[in-house]
């Protein structure tokens, strides 16, 4: 696979990067999301390894995410469906860390997260 120079910059960046696709139920409600691409900084910040998460749903990677007080899937789903961008700080019960996350949608049904540890 050929990597363009801009993609290489993102993948080698010291800033966390993950590209996702939202998964909807038959009524259009976000119920999950899939990891498409992550960089090394994302792996370092989260402890989640690319080889173990790429093309997997978040509920496969972190089944308890649906029990978290914060609705990660719904929040990201809103961005993926309606567009826009947001920055927030939130505690991840599953990963036991506070994260500052910048999230935006480059196109409908997809979103990019740039997490960092606070």
Please tell me the distance from the alpha carbon of residue 105 to that of residue 78, in angstroms, as a whole number: 10
pLDDT digit string, tens, across residues 79-112: 999 999 999 999 999 999 999 999 999 999 999 9
Please tell me the distance from the alpha carbon of residue 77 to that of residue 96, in angstroms, as a whole number: 22
Answer yes or no: are the C-beta atoms of 39 and 17 closer than 8 Å: yes
Please tell me the distance from the alpha carbon of residue 112 to that of residue 2, in angstroms, as a whole number: 21
Predicted confidence at residue 87, as pLDDT, reads 97
pLDDT digit string, tens, across residues 26-73: 999 999 999 999 999 999 999 999 999 999 999 999 999 999 999 999
Q: Say which CATH class 5-117 falls into.
A: alpha beta
Please tell me the distance from the alpha carbon of residue 28 to that of residue 85, in angstroms, as a whole number: 20
Q: Is the pLDDT of residue 1 over 60?
A: no
Q: CA Rg, the chain, in Å?
A: 14
Answer yes or no: are the C-beta atoms of 93 and 64 closer than 8 Å: yes
- Is pLDDT larger for residue 57 or for residue 10? 57
Answer yes or no: are the C-beta atoms of 31 and 24 closer than 8 Å: yes
Read off the tokens for 116: 């960092």
Q: Where are the domains of the chain?
A: 5-117
- Return the bridge partners of 54, or none: 35
């Amino acid at each position: 696979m050929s990597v363009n120079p801009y993609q290489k910059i993102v993948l080698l960046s010291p800033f966390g990067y993950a590209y996702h696709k939202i998964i909807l139920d038959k009524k259009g409600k976000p119920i999950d999301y899939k990891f498409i691409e992550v960089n090394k900084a994302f792996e370092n910040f989260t402890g989640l390894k690319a080889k173990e998460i790429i093309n997997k749903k978040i509920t496969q990677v972190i089944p308890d995410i649906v029990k978290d007080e914060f609705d990660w899937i719904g929040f990201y789903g809103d961005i993926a469906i309606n567009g826009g961008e947001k920055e927030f700080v939130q505690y991840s019960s599953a990963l036991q860390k506070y994260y500052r996350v910048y999230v935006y949608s480059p196109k409908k049904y997809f979103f990019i997260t740039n997490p960092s540890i606070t």
